Amino acid sequence: MDRYRGFEVNLVCGAGGAEIGGIDASRPLAPEVVAELRRALAEHCVIFLRDQVLTPEQQKAFARHFGPLARTPFIKPLDGHPEMMRIVREPQEAKKLNFGGRWHTDMTFSPEPVLGTCLYARESPAVGGDTIWTNQMLAFEALSPAMQRMLEKLTVMHSAKRSYGPQGTYADDDLKSMRIQASDAALKEQPHPCIRTHPETGRSILYVNWVYAIRFQDMTEAESAPLLDFLNRHSQRPEFQIRFRWRQGSLALWDNRSTQHIAVNDYPGYRRVMDRVTISGDKPYLKETP
């Protein structure tokens, strides 16, 4: 295992994920520690810090070590914190889906999808409520060379319309605490390469997801569905998964460039409160090979 300066690292599983010890996220971090955290994030996809005590301002300050904060364009922010959203699930709520309850990568409907997401557990259920990520670098590497070469030539159109459009998944689910109202820009289709290059590691990433990847460019949704369905199922294979058990005070930061994730909906009767901020990213690209 690689050594890191300034903190301890314990790997969560073979697919990735790293628990970080020896860092108080409420305090400013030295530049060399931030550089090492960025390396850990890029290499392990998700980093976790336990037993943190954070105000919203301190959580935002921690996330800003990794880049400017991005606003979620169609969800009511936390009062007084325009860059932060509070995700609340009350014990009595009965929804078809919880927020984040389908496999997805955050905000790929944007021209420049977010680099990362920082999620902090203020209240966590006694049982359930895990989050699962999948390592999309491993998903790419497990494909045959012929499939890799074919996908490197394809562009995928992303949009929020399937989830948050007038006829979308959440159209008949009020999600009272979230006040979701998709913007016109989020409902438009945005092209991204099917295979993108990680800007820090240089590794190739399978860049599709159930929620926002609608079709391949110059193909219909019906024509695209068989291959997208295969890729989405492939990307969620157990050997690519990283699972995290939350408890109050847990902080997770994940790399949206190289992961999908899902919030597991298995905690009826419990309250769950999470604060989320996202970190601005750049336009996905595929590095040309000689």
Active-site choice (38, 86, 104, 192): 104
Active-site choice (65, 162, 257, 276): 276
- DSSP string for residues in 213-261: EEEETTS-HHHHHHHHHHHHHHHT-GGGEEEE---TT-EEEEETTSEEE
**Contact present, 248 and 49 (Cβ < 8 Å):** no
- Measured CA to CA, the distance from residue 12 to residue 81 in angstroms comes to 32
Which residue is associated with the tokens 């990433």? 205
**Contact present, 16 and 46 (Cβ < 8 Å):** yes
Active-site choice (38, 44, 65, 106): 106
Q: Please say if 104 is a catalytic residue.
A: yes
Q: Please say if 106 is a catalytic residue.
A: yes
- Measured CA to CA, the distance from residue 228 to residue 197 in angstroms comes to 19
Active-site choice (65, 158, 196, 261): 261
- DSSP string for residues in 265-290: ---TT--EEEEEEEE-------PPP-
Q: Please say if 192 is a catalytic residue.
A: no
Cα distances (Å, whole numbers) of residue 42 to 37, 65, 98, 252: 9, 14, 28, 14
Q: Please say if 44 is a catalytic residue.
A: no
Catalytic residue numbers read 104, 106, 261, 276
